[in-house]
Amino acid sequence: MSMEDEKLLKEAKTLSWEDRLLHKNWKVRYDANIDLAAVCGSISYSRDPRLREFGPFFRKMVVDANVPVQEKALDALIMFLKVADADVGRYAKEVCDAIVAKCLTRRPKTVEKAQEIFILWVELEAVDAFLDAMEKAIKAKVAKAVVAAIDVMFQALSEFGSKIVPLKRIIKMLPELFDHQDQNVRASSKGVTLELCRWIPMKPTFFEKMCDTRKKELAAELAKVTGSPRPSRKIRSEQDKEPGPEPKAMSEVSGSGPAEEAAADTPQERDEYELVDPVDILTPLEKTGFWAGVKATKWSERKEAVAELSKLALTKRIAPGYFTEVCLTLKKLITDVNVAVAVAAIQAIGNLCRGLRTNFSGNSRFMLPVLLEKLKQKKPTLMDALTQTLQAMYKYGCLNLVDIVEDIKTAVKNKVPLVRSLTLNWLTFCIESSNKAILLKRHKEYVPICMECLHDGTPDVRDAAISALVALAKLVGMRPLENSLERLDEVRRRKIYQMIYCGGGLPAAAVKTSSGSMPCSELNSLHPEQCLAYKKGTEEVQESSMEEITTGRPDFILENEEDTLEDLFAEEAHTDQHQHTIEEQTEQDEPAPKIKVTKWRRKPDDQDDQNADEAGKRKRPNVKIPTKKYARLDNKEIQGATHINKAK
pLDDT at position 411 is 94
> What are the angstrom distances between the C-alpha of 233 and each of 114, 128, 134, 162, 640?
19, 18, 20, 12, 75
pLDDT at position 203 is 57
Q: How does DSSP classify residue 513?
A: E
Q: What does the pLDDT average to over 182-205?
A: 81
CA angle 433–484–543, rounded 5-degree value: 105
Q: What does the pLDDT average to over 377-402?
A: 93
Backbone angles phi, psi at 516, to 5 degrees: 140, -140
pLDDT digits (tens, 9 = 90+) for 78-107: 999 999 988 899 999 999 999 999 999 999
Is 170 in contact with 151 (CB distance < 8 Å)?
no
Q: What does the pLDDT average to over 616-621?
A: 48
Is 160 in contact with 120 (CB distance < 8 Å)?
no
Reduced 3-state DSSP string for 550-596: HHHCHHHHHHHHHHHHHHHHHHHCCCHHHHHHHHHHHHHCCCCCCCC
From CA 503, how far away is CA 492, in angstroms rounded? 16
Is 318 in contact with 285 (CB distance < 8 Å)?
no
pLDDT band at 199 (very low <50, low <70, confident <90, very high): confident
pLDDT at position 283 is 92
pLDDT band at 259 (very low <50, low <70, confident <90, very high): very low
pLDDT at position 547 is 41
**Partner residues linked to 511 by β-bridges:** 253, 518
pLDDT digits (tens, 9 = 90+) for 32-55: 999 999 999 999 888 888 988 999
The candidate with the shortest Cα–Cα distance to 430, out of 364, 348, 344, 504, is: 364
Burial annotation 288-304 (CB, 10 A radius, 16+ → b, else e): bebeebbeeeeeebbbb
Q: What is the value of pTM for the model shown?
A: 0.58
Q: Indicate if the pLDDT at residue 247 is higher than 50.
A: no
**Sequence-distant (≥ 6) Cβ neighbours of residue 371 within 8 angstroms:** 334, 346, 349, 386, 389, 390
pLDDT at position 91 is 93
- Comparison of pLDDT for 198 and 524, the residue scoring more: 198
- Comparison of pLDDT for 26 and 606, the residue scoring more: 26
Is 50 in contact with 10 (CB distance < 8 Å)?
no
pLDDT at position 280 is 93
pLDDT digits (tens, 9 = 90+) for 533-552: 444 443 343 344 334 333 44
pLDDT at position 265 is 36
From CA 92, how far away is CA 43, in angstroms rounded? 20
pLDDT at position 502 is 65
Q: What structural domains does the chain harbor? A: 3-236 (1.25.10.10), 278-399 (1.25.10.10), 554-647 (no CATH)
Please report, rounded to a whole number, the percentage of residues in the chain having pLDDT higher than 90: 44
pLDDT at position 258 is 37
